[in-house]
Amino acid sequence: MTTSAETHLHPTNPNNGEAFSPVRCTALAEIPACVQRARQAQPHWQALSLRQRSRFLHRFSQEVARSAERIAECLCQTQGKSPFDAYGEIFTVLELCQYYQRVAGRVLKARWAFPLSGLHRSHRLVYEPYGVVGVIAPWNYPFNLSLQPVLAALIAGNSVVLKPSEHTPHIGAEIAHLFAQAGFPRDVLTLVQGDGSVGQALIAAGIDKLVFTGSVAVGRQVARLAGEQLLPLTLELGGKDVAIVLADADLQRAAQGIAWAANVNAGQACLAVEQVYVEAAVADACLHALRQAYANLRVGDSTDPTADITAITTPAQLAKIQALVEDAVLCGARLVCGGQAVRSAGRFFQPTILTDVPESARIWREEIFGPVVVVQRVADAAEAVARTNASPFGLTASIWTRNRAQGRALAAQLQVGDVAIIEHGAPAGHAEIAWGGRKASGFGKTRGKEGLLEMVVQKHLSWDWFDRPREAHWFPNAKRDAKFLLRVIGWLFGR
């Protein structure tokens, strides 16, 4: 995370390079006060019934639906995605609103427990909000990935301080406007704007829980800062996602599916395929099918209805993609297609396929986050699984085979958070399916029931049915009590 503090952010339109209106950064000295206001608002928000909080979410979803065209235009201009992808973000948020309204009461409902050794007491498990949840959001899906943790935190009774990416601050402002229009109480959602120094100040300002979505490198820094305070943390980090193509696969479907999965949002998605492992028997045929699928892809800006590959959001990301491809080629990789930035006023990169990439190339180890895929032949499925599991990342994978039973068996062996068969990233927007990775791809979950439970602390309440002078396990522990417990162990567990 950067430590420099700017007074204003100056994002540019990735489609044409034009500057947007500057956005004022929240001064670092203001961050503790922002958290304090959120803390003061939180008890009143928590005191509302879950049904009342659900009504606020319903009003918010209505505002989003009514404003969908304006939100999509903002997403296209500030992040560079296509209108279809922009509306996809909006749809995902609306589905999540509806889902949490439907299930939150059931998931967060207090419940009774009946421990075997404590049946003489009543045991009640209740869920309480953390308090103030900080959300540091990314730039690649700035609407959806901001609101997934925000909505879960709010319906669970927390207040939220949201820091959007410094590259898409206008989306953060749009989110705050939508909550205000929906009539949410003041300071239940607080917006702070700025670069990494603002995020760092937010972590240090006394929040009770943090959700961070971003790169592995920054995630490690966030984890260190949070660890110093023992701050509960959910991390959704990057991936080097894999597609495994078996010899019996429908190669045309696999090629079309991988062409989408490697290039969705110009490859700027944590689930985007970056590595394809193909069984040697069909490696040449698969590469040929991929080349044909790529030949039909068009690069263009958000206003071009025929464009498949849209803009790269930041100049730094465009430079990184180019550097990784050039390094691979210098190491001896074969460039099948693409490989260059598109000359224009905006920021675009050709859809690219590399093969025969040496292990020394950086592209094997670093997340690309662009429209580039590496195709590697393997001897068999076992080698593909071993290579996938050797990666430090563990977010998503896909298996392309006509034999679904074999696909499920291989999926069980992969050390990733999500595996799809003859599809990739299938649950990426499903509200009721929790999202999260393993290893360097992060820990904790967003969405689904698990995403709700990330936003609460479980408390155990118990009380005795009778007034007794002492409990059996209190001192002194008589010899006869130990013998009685030994007999109980044998009776209950020794048969």
Give tens-digit pLDDT for 268-319: 999 999 999 999 999 999 999 999 999 999 999 999 999 999 999 999 999 9
Q: Are residues 20 and 60 in the same domain?
A: yes
The residues that are catalytic are 236, 270
What pLDDT does 479 receive?
A: 83
How many domains does one find in the chain? 2
Residues 417 and 282 in one domain: yes
Residues 245 and 337 in one domain: yes
Regarding whether 424 and 278 lie in a shared domain, the answer is: yes
Confidence of residue 477 (pLDDT cuts 50, 70, 90): confident
pLDDT digits (tens, 9 = 90+) for 355-366: 999 999 999 999
pLDDT-based confidence at residue 393 (cuts at 50, 70, 90): very high
- Indicate if the pLDDT at residue 52 is higher than 70: yes
**What is the pLDDT, as a whole number, of residue 469?**
85
| pLDDT tier, 478 (very low <50, low <70, confident <90, very high otherwise) | confident
Q: Is residue 476 part of a domain?
A: no
Asked whether residue 466 is assigned to any structural domain, the reply reads no
Residues 322, 229 within the same domain: no
Statement to judge: residues 214 and 317 lie in one domain: no
* Alpha carbon distance 377, 287 (integer Å): 10
Position 33 in a domain: yes
Same domain, 27 and 95: yes
pLDDT average, residue stretch 99-112: 97
Residue type, 483: K
Residues 342 and 267 in one domain: yes
**Angle between helices 144-155 and 83-107 in degrees, nearest 10:** 20
* Mode of pairing for the β-strands spanning 341-342 and 241-245: unpaired
What residue numbers bound the domain in which 232 lies? 8-237+446-457
What's the mean pLDDT in 441-454?
97
Q: Is residue 397 part of a domain?
A: yes
CATH number at residue 78: 3.40.605.10
pLDDT of residue 3: 42
Q: What is the CA radius of gyration of the chain?
A: 26
56: left (phi over 0), alpha (psi -120 to 50) or beta: alpha
Q: What is the pTM of this model?
A: 0.95
Tens digit of each residue's pLDDT (9 = 90 or more) over 2-34: 444 579 999 999 999 999 999 999 999 999 999
* 3 in a structural domain: no
Q: Kindly report the average pLDDT of the chain as a whole number.
A: 96
Least confidently predicted of 162-166, 281-285, 354-358, 462-466: 462-466
Residue 104 CB-half CA count within 13 A: 29
Tell me whether residue 45 is in a domain. yes
Do 301 and 211 lie in one domain? The reply is no
Same-domain pairing of 427 and 414: yes
Does residue 243 contact residue 397 with C-beta atoms inside 8 Å?
yes
C-beta atoms surrounding 463 within 10 Å:
8
Is 484 a member of any domain? no
Residue type, 60: F
In sign, the C-alpha dihedral spanning 487, 493, 494, 495 is positive
Across the range 401-413, mean pLDDT stands at: 98
Based on the fold, state whether residues 147 and 82 are members of the same structural domain: yes
Same domain, 233 and 246: no
Q: Is there a domain that residue 485 lies in? A: no
d(CA 4, CA 60): 35
- Using left for φ > 0, alpha for ψ between -120 and 50, and beta otherwise, residue 235 falls in beta
pLDDT beyond 70 at 178: yes
Give the model's pLDDT for residue 211.
98
Here the CATH number for the domain that contains residue 338 is 3.40.309.10
